[in-house]
């Protein structure tokens, strides 16, 4: 699971992770592409990378990404020698979109050192027998193909420069109720990570992933799909919330800062001897 619009009450008042300026200079001289960057975890990662001295290209299919990038740029200007912040709109559910985003990022930033593949998220919440074939396909297109396509689009560039890092954002919801198509998609992200790491390592490229648990986030500016309407739909969604909290040893949802901190660690040189690894960030829930 990545983000939710309404956090359970047991998460209220919990301390967040250290702020984004905790490792100033960690990404100096680096160019980082963050997908799904208009809101949620992606936005938090982009803000932290910029605060830590990195150049950032925010990618999203929502036009909102340009407004978010302007805010990231303004915040980064408070630090000495801020790195450039760019934004690109692209539909990453297609290879053409991923290719266009990669080319635009290289044109804007000159190179790509790190890609954070963050696009994805549950669209519907219900038992599998209630999904239509069209909904199943849409869930897979949303939560598997953006990572699959971006890895394919950016890999030749990283191989050519013989260095780089891909950080995929998976989920511990591969073991979760009422979202089988999403779980299957995130299981695919885990497989991409472990298999591609074997191929990429000889070229100096690391491939890693985090597996977030339930994460508190503000209300989404752009919804993934319809919100629960009927009492039954609300009950199915509540089952996800309850199972997510119960599966966490810490009995709470995480914060955006906690998710961004783990992603940025794996993206940094501090994790230079880590590849093919999936880091659960879910309060002890291993998925």
- The set of catalytic residues is 182
Query: HEC string of the chain?
Result: CCCECCCCHHHCCCCCCCCCCCCCCCCCCCEEEEECCCCHHHHHHHHHHHHCCCEEEEEECCCHHHHHHHHHHHHHCCCCCCCCEEEEECCCCCHHHHHHHHHHHHHHHCCCCEEEECCCCCCCCCCHHHCCHHHHHHHHHHHCHHHHHHHHHHHHHHHHHCCEEEEEECCHHHHCCCCHHHHHHHHHHHHHHHHHHHHHHHHCEEEEEEEECCEECCCCCCCCCCCCCCHHHHHHHHHHHHHHHHHCCCCCCECHHHHHHHHHHHHCHHHCCCCCCEEEECCCCCC
The answer to whether the beta carbons of residues 10 and 40 sit under 8 Å apart is: no
Residue 108: Cβ within 10 Å count: 16
**Nearest residue to 154 via CA among 127, 117, 129, 209:** 117
């Amino acid at each position: 699971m990545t983000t939710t619009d309404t956090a359970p009450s047991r998460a209220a008042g919990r301390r967040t992770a250290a702020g984004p300026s905790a490792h100033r200079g960690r990404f100096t001289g680096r160019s980082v592409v963050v997908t799904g960057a208009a809101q949620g975890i992606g936005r938090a990662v982009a803000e932290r990378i910029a605060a830590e001295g990195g150049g950032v290209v925010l990618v999203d299919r929502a036009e909102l990404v340009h407004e978010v990038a302007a805010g990231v740029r303004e915040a980064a200007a408070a630090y000495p020698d801020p790195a450039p912040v760019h934004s690109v709109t692209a539909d990453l559910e297609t290879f053409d979109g991923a290719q266009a985003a990669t080319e635009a990022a290289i044109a804007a930033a000159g190179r790509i050192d790190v890609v954070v593949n963050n696009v994805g998220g549950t669209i519907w919440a219900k038992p599998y027998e209630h999904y239509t074939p069209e909904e199943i396909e849409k869930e897979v297109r949303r939560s598997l193909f953006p990572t699959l396509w971006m890895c394919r689009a950016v890999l030749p560039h990283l191989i050519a420069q013989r260095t780089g890092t891909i950080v995929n954002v998976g989920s511990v919801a591969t073991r979760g109720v009422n979202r089988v198509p999403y779980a299957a998609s995130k299981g695919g992200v885990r497989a991409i990570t472990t298999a591609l790491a074997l191929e990429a390592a000889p070229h100096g490229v690391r491939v890693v992933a985090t597996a977030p648990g339930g994460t508190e986030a503000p209300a989404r500016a752009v919804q993934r799909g319809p919100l629960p309407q009927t009492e039954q739909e609300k009950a199915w969604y509540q089952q996800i919330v309850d199972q997510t909290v119960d599966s966490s040893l810490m009995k709470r949802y995480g914060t955006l800062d906690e998710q961004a901190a783990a992603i940025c660690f794996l993206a940094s040189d501090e994790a230079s001897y880590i590849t093919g690894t999936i880091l659960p960030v879910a309060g002890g829930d291993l998925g």
